[in-house]
A and B are shown apart, each in its own frame.
Chain A
Amino acid sequence: MILSGFAALLLALSAFAQQDQPRATADSQANFAIAGVVVDGVSGQLLSQAEVFIQAQGIPDSGQSMMTSDDGSFAFYNLASGHYTLSARRRGYLEQAYKQHEGFSTAIIVGAGQDTSHLRFPLPPEASISGEVTDEMNDPVRQANVILFQRGLRSGRSASWRRAGASTDDRGHYSFTHLLPGTYFVAVSAQPWYAQHDVEIMRRASNPGEVQTEELIIPPDPALDVVYPVTFFSNAPNMADAAPITVRPGEAETADFTLHPISALHLTVICDPPGGPDGPGNVWAEVREAVGEGWHEGVPVHSAQIRPGLLEITGLPPGGFDLTLHTSHGKESSVRSVSVHLAEDSKIDFSGAAVNATVSGVIRMDDGVLPSRSFIQFRNRNTGEQVGAQVEENGQFVLRGRSLDPGNYDVSANGSGGMAVRSLSATGGKVSGRSLEVAPGQDVKLTVVVSKGTGRVSGVALKDDKPVDEVMVVLVPEVLENNLDLFRRDQSDSDGSFNLAGILPGKYTIIALESGWDLNWYDPTVLQKYLPSGEHVEVTPNAKLQVKVKVQTSFQK
């Protein structure tokens, strides 16, 4: 079952009827039960005083709740047959749906012949990482930006991504709570509160009595013209050198930081002065520093225009970052970006630099209709960074602000009622499957044809002819590479059933993996092994297929 509105399970109790879900039937006999115990996900200890919720899918106001008794047990009686979402919460544990994995869980199928009275509901003890950030004077650093990265599987690949952000309080204290066990990194991005980066520009006549002037740049006091470099725990400049924090269930880890200032760098930028006879235009600089994989933090730099076409950027930390120059004059504006690596004060010549490539295009449905309220998303294959754009009423979209860095991107589309990319074509970029290769400095015009995924496959995961719950079911397209948008996943429910919806017509293989939740399922070499024993299907428009899939055991772990 896919958890919709997963963010707050409690809201399930108040949610309106989910459309397109199997409904519990009102005329069924109401003499079934959901019962079992809630246990600690690690020790197996029975948990009393846990609040357990059930909600019949598709029936508003059918939510019920109870507390587990001293022996950890709960029981809901007099239930009509149907699909139920089961969830639980308790202090010290993560609030979870039953056997939850990522955005999936196992729904409880209630009805004749189903044993739903002996459930064992493991709740994972929650963990935390907290610490203090202090400066070189041993004073707490307030409002430091603390970033938590998690390393693990994301969209079927190994990745590190920004999990959460926090700001330190007046004691320099931060905390990340309600964490699942796993591997994490913590980074701090902050600036000395006393830093002074402004340069002063004085103009004077080049020669006494002359109209022509020259500029005198007075740098800020070097003792105060300082920055804190981004610091990973423990005292590392980047994620590669950082100490991973392995968080075990129920544990509270500590990661303290002491920040040390270093001299800020100055960058002189030569650029084409915007403007015309009617007056000068504006130039401003934006600096973004890569912190971890796929995550950029803005650097609060100062920039001063010494004279048109000459910009002084101060407050830069040493290292690599993206420098973006925005220029505007009247209604015209342009954006130019460059990646720079600075070790000392430098000069960079931007004049004549190519304007950033823009990625724009049009989306239409395969039946010619304009899709309503849709969104297009680009996911960088290497960094995992995701950039998206809202599609306008006329089907057009433009990636505004920052453009895509050169590289390979998986393209996907979301919209009301569910949709998938049927085909992709582009000018200025190379397309393979549902992915796009962006070359430096080249504008890309995309044509995206999307389709309401009309096919549906439901079925049951079987092991030795017996249904198995909690297995990961993956719908794999015929061409594995570059087709992220065609994959569909689900988790088998208590009767082994699963449901894959919104499938584009085509040939697929369905695999069911026991303990498959740690699998790099988007890696073709990993996936190959399971395909021979999968169930091959051909989905035609509006097809509603029913399949039986053999459960395989994940080779990993």
Chain B
Amino acid sequence: MHFRPLLLWLLVFSPFRSFEAAWQLQPAEPKAFNVRGKVVNSTTGEPIHGALVQLFAGRPRSRLTGPDGQFVFEDVPAGTFAVQVRKPGFFFAPQLPFSAASPPMIIAGPDEPPPATLKLIPEGIIYGHLFGDSGEPLESLPVQVFCERTENGRKARTEFRSTNTDQQGEFRLAELPPGRYFVLAGPSRVPSSFSARPSQGGARGYAAAFYPSGPDLASAAPIEIAPGKHLEINWTLSSQPFYRISGTVNADLRHQSLSLQLTRGGQALASGFQIDPEIGTFRTQWLPAGLYKLTGRMHDPSTGQELFAMQNLNLTSNVTVRLMMVPSLNIPVTFQVQTTRSDSQPGPALFGGSGLNATRNRQTYVPARVVLTLQEQALSPRQFYAEAVDGDETAVIHNLLPGAYSIEAFPNGPYYVQAVRSGALNLLEQNLMVGAGGSLQPIEVVLRDDFATLDGSVALQGEGQSGMVVVIPEDSPQRARNANLFWQPGVPGSDRQTAGFEISQLAPGSYRVLVVDDPSFEYENPDVLQKYLSQAQEILLGPNQRTKVTLGVVHVGD
């Protein structure tokens, strides 16, 4: 299901580095070959000197290219072998995260293989200077670069790299693969200046800003980094007033420790809390104006209860708050496993790629992994995981924050998720609302073992073409699942014109199946999916059935 293409390759080639094999010596091959080639820059075509080429012929063999980019491996036995190339400042396409490229294969025998041309993609670099109000270089300002990618059918922006400006206000973010990026600078860690009486307000600093200007991603300009692009950004920021949040808590801090967290746009900010347990007060560092969420947690040793408090703050001046600690929000999760098959073993069974947290430990086994995702405007919304209750096959989700949640359940065994409910609420279709003080009904997860399996064969349009299978339930397209195509590289004579896939643990029902040529296909976006749905194959999957299907690859995108 949620396989990333990279995983497949790791499985095939691992271990890359610590190679220790125990095997019987094969009788010597009657014939050996020379494998030659050249490493070039994919954009300029120039040869690359001093690149490391590794040929996985039984054991990895390594060579550095000469000044003309040439390499040669002698005495290579007959066979089909993967090659890999490395050089600082370059990427080898098959090893890029979320790459669609398959690794080049060298076929030695029966004839001498033709010279290979291996391409390295030059890195992108974003660099430049940050200046303040009067043109002075800004030192020690954090700079982050976010990368936009489509993962599992969903567009996601994740922090990719970060650095700090140096004394000259300079920053460099190198080793960027080609792609779309956003740059965020700030905020200042300490105010850049104070007015006469800092305690009465009047500290100034540089707030976090996306390039070229704006506090959030919506106002950010995407930066396209083509292979080898070195982009200089010289950027002048404007200082703004900084404020502080001070407060008190309705609890005695001398005997219980209070842990505080401040988030903005879902992102946790560097802690800088000063807590004075004697007086029972706390204070944040200096912060730019904006909307913040302050969360406090503590453990009450007298009752053994976990306590929490959450306060939303619109910071426009120094403010004082009082945190009212209340019992934390916990939701129990119960499981109902409906078995219909005689071969079905209730209980732990590691199965397929599902159930990342699956465990053979009976004590902590739960039939499914349950994840709640807070619906918030954030780069990476917070997630809460159900934790197993010892020896009970039930679980509990601890310390939820008030808000709306979407729910996902991943079976830890040979099941599919038939239903997720909270009272009369169907959580496969609707969000769960969690409020402070309200009763927190248990979540019930219903699993069944009479699942369907889809077994596919895909005619490729070119040798080694990559692709992604998307299986879309007719009645709930938002619950689509994907899988990668597989074939067996490295096996001599393997047919690279067709690939296979298997998706199991599907709920019986009607589906549409689509194979696309782009692993970053944004199928969770209904507008994108709609365009290609007519080219999908309709299929009815019956309980306990394995259905075979043959498909072609649909080109998506421009």
Contact between A10 and B190, CB atoms less than 8 A apart: yes
Give Cα A271 to B317, complex, Å: 66
Residues from chain A with a CB closer than 8 A to the CB of B25 are 202, 204
Contact between B174 and A175, CB atoms less than 8 A apart: no
Q: What residue of chain B has the Cβ atom nearest to residue A306's Cβ?
A: B20
Q: Which of A176-230 contact B (CB under 8 A)?
A: 177-178, 193-194, 196, 198, 200-205, 218, 221, 223-224
Q: What residue of chain B has the Cβ atom nearest to residue A60's Cβ?
A: B199
Would you call B167 an interface residue if the criterion is a C-beta within 8 Å of the partner chain's C-beta atoms? yes
For B166, give its contact among A16, A175, A304 (CB under 8 Å): A175
For A139, give its contact among B50, B59, B281, B285 (CB under 8 Å): B50
Q: Nearest chain A CB to B84's CB is how many angstroms away?
A: 12
Residues from chain A with a CB closer than 8 A to the CB of B370 are none
The size bracket of the interface on B is: 35 or more
For A91, give its contact among B22, B136, B198 (CB under 8 Å): B136
Residues from chain B with a CB closer than 8 A to the CB of A10 are 190-191
For A137, give its contact among B22, B49, B59, B136 (CB under 8 Å): B49
Give Cα A11 to B20, complex, Å: 53
Residues from chain B with a CB closer than 8 A to the CB of A193 are 52, 86, 88
Q: What residue of chain B has the Cβ atom nearest to residue A16's Cβ?
A: B276
Interface string of B18-33 (1 = CB under 8 A from A): 1111111100000000
Q: What residue of chain A has the Cβ atom nearest to residue B172's Cβ?
A: A169
Give the interface centre of A14, A51, A53, A203 by most chain B CB atoms within 10 Å.
A14
Q: A13-B198, A63-B198, A170-B174 are in contact. Are A200 and B59 (CB under 8 A)?
A: yes
Interface string of B35-64 (1 = CB under 8 A from A): 000000000000001101000000101111
Would you call A434 an interface residue if the criterion is a C-beta within 8 Å of the partner chain's C-beta atoms? no
Interface string of B192-203 (1 = CB under 8 A from A): 011111110000
Contact between B167 and A177, CB atoms less than 8 A apart: yes
Interface string of A163-179 (1 = CB under 8 A from B): 00000011100010110
Q: Nearest chain B CB to A73's CB is how many angstroms away?
A: 15
The size bracket of the interface on A is: 35 or more
Would you call B4 an interface residue if the criterion is a C-beta within 8 Å of the partner chain's C-beta atoms? no
Give Cα A16 to B253, complex, Å: 16
Contact between B196 and A65, CB atoms less than 8 A apart: yes
Residues from chain B with a CB closer than 8 A to the CB of A177 are 166-167
For B21, give its contact among A170, A201, A224 (CB under 8 Å): A201
Would you call B211 an interface residue if the criterion is a C-beta within 8 Å of the partner chain's C-beta atoms? no
Residues from chain A with a CB closer than 8 A to the CB of B62 are 194, 196, 221, 224
Would you call B17 an interface residue if the criterion is a C-beta within 8 Å of the partner chain's C-beta atoms? yes
For A204, give its contact among B24, B123, B190, B279 (CB under 8 Å): B24
Contact between A202 and B23, CB atoms less than 8 A apart: yes
Q: What residue of chain A has the Cβ atom nearest to residue B24's Cβ?
A: A204
Q: Nearest chain B CB to A416's CB is how many angstroms away?
A: 12
Residues from chain B with a CB closer than 8 A to the CB of A369 are none
Contact between A14 and B175, CB atoms less than 8 A apart: no
Residues from chain A with a CB closer than 8 A to the CB of B195 are 65
Interface string of A65-99 (1 = CB under 8 A from B): 11000000000000000000000000100000000
Q: Which of B192-246 contact A (CB under 8 A)?
A: 193-199, 244
Q: Which of A295-352 contact B (CB under 8 A)?
A: 302, 304
Q: Nearest chain A CB to B118's CB is how many angstroms away?
A: 15
Contact between A223 and B64, CB atoms less than 8 A apart: yes
Interface string of A29-53 (1 = CB under 8 A from B): 0000000000000000000000101
Q: What residue of chain A has the Cβ atom nearest to residue B167's Cβ?
A: A177
Residues from chain B with a CB closer than 8 A to the CB of A11 are 190
Would you call A61 an interface residue if the criterion is a C-beta within 8 Å of the partner chain's C-beta atoms? yes
Interface string of B59-96 (1 = CB under 8 A from A): 10111100000000000000000000010110000000
Residues from chain B with a CB closer than 8 A to the CB of A202 are 21-23, 25
Would you call A15 an interface residue if the criterion is a C-beta within 8 Å of the partner chain's C-beta atoms? yes
Contact between A198 and B19, CB atoms less than 8 A apart: yes
Q: Which of B325-374 contact A (CB under 8 A)?
A: none
Contact between A200 and B21, CB atoms less than 8 A apart: yes
Would you call A383 an interface residue if the criterion is a C-beta within 8 Å of the partner chain's C-beta atoms? no
Residues from chain A with a CB closer than 8 A to the CB of B50 are 137, 139, 194
Would you call B125 an interface residue if the criterion is a C-beta within 8 Å of the partner chain's C-beta atoms? yes
Residues from chain B with a CB closer than 8 A to the CB of A205 are 24
Give Cα A60 to B198, complex, Å: 11
What secondary structure prevails in chain B residues at the interface with A?
Answer: loop
Would you call A8 an interface residue if the criterion is a C-beta within 8 Å of the partner chain's C-beta atoms? yes
Contact between A15 and B274, CB atoms less than 8 A apart: yes
Q: A13-B198, A170-B89 are in contact. Are A51 and B193 (CB under 8 A)?
A: yes
Contact between B198 and A198, CB atoms less than 8 A apart: no
Would you call B286 an interface residue if the criterion is a C-beta within 8 Å of the partner chain's C-beta atoms? yes
Residues from chain A with a CB closer than 8 A to the CB of B155 are none
Give the interface centre of A8, A139, A178, A198 by most chain B CB atoms within 10 Å.
A198
Q: Nearest chain A CB to B440's CB is how many angstroms away?
A: 35
For A194, give its contact among B64, B172, B194 (CB under 8 Å): B64
Contact between B18 and A198, CB atoms less than 8 A apart: yes
Would you call B496 an interface residue if the criterion is a C-beta within 8 Å of the partner chain's C-beta atoms? no
Would you call A128 an interface residue if the criterion is a C-beta within 8 Å of the partner chain's C-beta atoms? yes
Residues from chain B with a CB closer than 8 A to the CB of A178 are 167
Contact between B21 and A14, CB atoms less than 8 A apart: no
Contact between B88 and A139, CB atoms less than 8 A apart: yes
For A200, give its contact among B20, B197, B274 (CB under 8 Å): B20
Contact between A224 and B64, CB atoms less than 8 A apart: yes
Give Cα A307 to B172, complex, Å: 47
Would you call B283 an interface residue if the criterion is a C-beta within 8 Å of the partner chain's C-beta atoms? yes
Contact between A198 and B88, CB atoms less than 8 A apart: no
Give Cα A170 to B127, complex, Å: 11
Contact between A142 and B190, CB atoms less than 8 A apart: no
Give Cα A65 to B274, complex, Å: 21
Residues from chain A with a CB closer than 8 A to the CB of B19 are 198, 200
Residues from chain A with a CB closer than 8 A to the CB of B123 are 170
Would you call A423 an interface residue if the criterion is a C-beta within 8 Å of the partner chain's C-beta atoms? no
Q: A65-B198, A204-B24 are in contact. Are A170 and B64 (CB under 8 A)?
A: no
Residues from chain B with a CB closer than 8 A to the CB of A61 are 199
Would you call A442 an interface residue if the criterion is a C-beta within 8 Å of the partner chain's C-beta atoms? no
Give Cα A177 to B64, complex, Å: 37
Give Cα A63 to B166, complex, Å: 28
Give Cα A218 to B20, complex, Å: 10
Give Cα A221 to B276, complex, Å: 60
Residues from chain B with a CB closer than 8 A to the CB of A137 are 49-50
Q: What residue of chain A has the Cβ atom nearest to residue B202's Cβ?
A: A65
Give Cα A249 to B305, complex, Å: 58
Q: A196-B62, A202-B23, A224-B62 are in contact. Are A14 and B89 (CB under 8 A)?
A: no
Give Cα A428 to B24, complex, Å: 52
Q: What residue of chain B has the Cβ atom nearest to residue A213's Cβ?
A: B22
For A14, give its contact among B24, B49, B197, B274 (CB under 8 Å): B274
Q: What residue of chain A has the Cβ atom nearest to residue B50's Cβ?
A: A137
Give Cα A51 to B193, complex, Å: 8
For B194, give its contact among A53, A140, A218, A302 (CB under 8 Å): A53
Residues from chain A with a CB closer than 8 A to the CB of B63 are 221
Would you call A62 an interface residue if the criterion is a C-beta within 8 Å of the partner chain's C-beta atoms? yes
Give the interface centre of A66, A178, A202 by most chain B CB atoms within 10 Å.
A202
Give Cα A169 to B89, complex, Å: 11
Give the interface centre of A66, A140, A200 by most chain B CB atoms within 10 Å.
A200
For A198, give its contact among B20, B194, B281 (CB under 8 Å): B20
Would you call A542 an interface residue if the criterion is a C-beta within 8 Å of the partner chain's C-beta atoms? no
What are 18 residue pairs bridging A and B, where the CB atoms are less than 8 Å apart in the complex? A13-B199, A16-B283, A63-B194, A65-B197, A91-B136, A137-B49, A170-B123, A170-B175, A194-B62, A194-B86, A201-B21, A202-B25, A203-B24, A221-B62, A224-B52, A224-B62, A224-B64, A302-B18
Q: What are the 6 A-B residue pairs with the smallest beta carbon separation, nearest first?
A: A170-B174, A61-B199, A65-B194, A194-B52, A177-B167, A137-B50
